[in-house]
Amino acid sequence: MKIRLLIAQAAIVMAGVAAVAGTASAEVIIVAPNAPPPVRMEAVPPARVGYVWDQGHWRWEHGQYMWNPGHWQVERVGYHWVPGHWIAHRGAWRYMQGHWA
């Protein structure tokens, strides 16, 4: 009887751990006081099977914008890549991280 109870309790604990681990994520919020410069036009390399192109973007670093060049992302089957972008937010600019949707 004690073994069944112990197994049931262990199953509940593991289910809880799995639920927390499956939903845990860390979002870094990047806010800049002024608008980013215009996006640089980059030559997109020829398509690669199993990859999607993540266009370059401006990043805010040490009080200034720095260009982050485009790069390939490993494709996730069944998803599409939403590129990162800047939005005006409460008198400043907030960077929305690229993500799979």
pLDDT (tens digit per residue) in 49-93: 999 999 999 999 999 999 999 999 999 999 999 999 999 999 999
Lowest mean pLDDT segment, chosen from 8-12, 24-28, 97-101:
8-12
Q: How many beta carbons lie within 10 A of that of residue 41, not counting itself?
A: 8
pLDDT (tens digit per residue) in 15-52: 544 444 445 667 788 999 999 999 999 999 999 999 99
pTM of the model: 0.68
- Residue 8: pLDDT band with limits 50, 70, 90: low
Helix ranges (H only) for 24-101 are none
Using a 10 angstrom Cβ sphere, with 0-12 exposed, 13-18 middle and 19 or more buried, the burial of residue 95 is: buried
CA distance 22 to 7: 22
Place of tokens 């990859």: 51
Gap between the terminal Cα atoms of the chain: 46
Query: What was the pLDDT predicted at 10?
Result: 52
